[in-house]
Chains A and B, each alone.
Chain A
Amino acid sequence: MNEHLNPDAIDRYLGGERDKAMENHLRECAECRRAVERIETTLEQFRASAQAWSESQPQGQPPAGLAARVEAPASLFWIAPARWAAVATAVLALAALPVYRNYRRNQAADRARADALLLEEVCADLSRPAPEPLEPLIDLVSQSTTQSTPGDNQ
């Protein structure tokens, strides 16, 4: 008797790649035949379980409205809800674009006005002889200067 079928040969056999030598060996070797039959039985039960599982589902039968969908293939009503949501989002985004642009323009104008105001204040500060908080001191100094001048004259 030939050597037993190795695991690779059994996989090839189960996968449908069979040759005469394999078949002859399986006829003669009870051990290999049992090994192959055992896994074949399990695979057959797997197929049966997939079929039973599928048939036990309500969706195992075609849905009633399917034919109607092919009669109106171009109908917008058959667009999936997710696609409707995507379309609605795109439309909203397009509609909002001018509003957004206007908002950005107004924002830029406000910023320009604020900048101009700030610049004016800075210029005003620069044109002062001293910073605003020191102005009372300047006043004091100028008053004392005014008062002492007559004395000097005296």
Chain B
Amino acid sequence: MEANRASLDDFDALVALYWPGVFRFALASLRDRDRAATVAQDCFLRAWRSRERFRGDSSVRTWLMQIAVNLVRDEARSRKLQFWRSARAASGDFGALSATVADQGESPEAAASAREQLRAVWRAVRGLPERQRTVFLLRFTEEMELLEIAAATGMAEGTVKVHLFRALRAVREQVRQVSP
């Protein structure tokens, strides 16, 4: 926690340490690189300007994620149409990416199946309600603990679990459909 606090005295260090996670979360949520970058910038500027109010109850990372979650939610709500438009537009990126990620020296059939499953996860995530998607992404892209997710989203831990389990069920169902 002390190391975390120290990073609040150095803006460059704060950004260097946490930018990738904040940008990644915003990108996976919004599926638009420019808007994700705007959210990440706003997140760090807001955090820096209100750093005096940071009490240290959570880690700096959780605090930044809390700001990012709010910004992503505002951004998604204010531009719902563009959100879905860019979600469709971004689907092309996943084709190339899933090919890279899923191809790990397996047989062509196994690699194709892995790619299909990966696409199914992204499809499922896209279709999740906002809170389920947020919780799912914080858990499975940022590897945050349930209590950290509760702190970042302002939900009770029990609520986080409910959203996470529902999201997992939806994701498993999509995966099961492409790979029974």
Which residue numbers of A lie inside 8 Å of B, CB to CB?
7-8, 10-12, 14-17, 39, 41-43, 45-63, 66-67, 69-70, 73
Contact = CB atoms under 8 A, between A and B. Distances in A.
Contacts of A62: 15-16, 19, 40, 44
Nearest to B49: A73
18 contacts: A8-B165, A15-B164, A16-B146, A39-B175, A45-B118, A46-B118, A46-B122, A49-B97, A51-B24, A52-B97, A52-B100, A57-B33, A59-B23, A62-B15, A66-B15, A67-B12, A70-B11, A70-B49
Interface residues of B, number: 48
Interface string B91-103: 0011001101110
Interface in B9-43: 11-12, 15-16, 19-20, 23-24, 27-28, 33-34, 36-37, 40-41
B15 A54 contact: no
Chain B facing A: main interface SS: helix
A59 B36 contact: yes
Given A11-B165, A15-B168, A43 B34 contact: no
A50 B165 contact: no
A10 B139 contact: no
A15 B19 CA distance: 25
A15 B141 contact: no
A11 B169 contact: yes
Contacts of A73: 45, 49
Contacts of B11: 66-67, 70
Given A45-B121, A62-B15, A67-B11, 12 more contacts: A16-B146, A45-B102, A46-B121, A46-B140, A46-B141, A49-B101, A50-B28, A51-B24, A53-B94, A57-B33, A60-B24, A69-B41
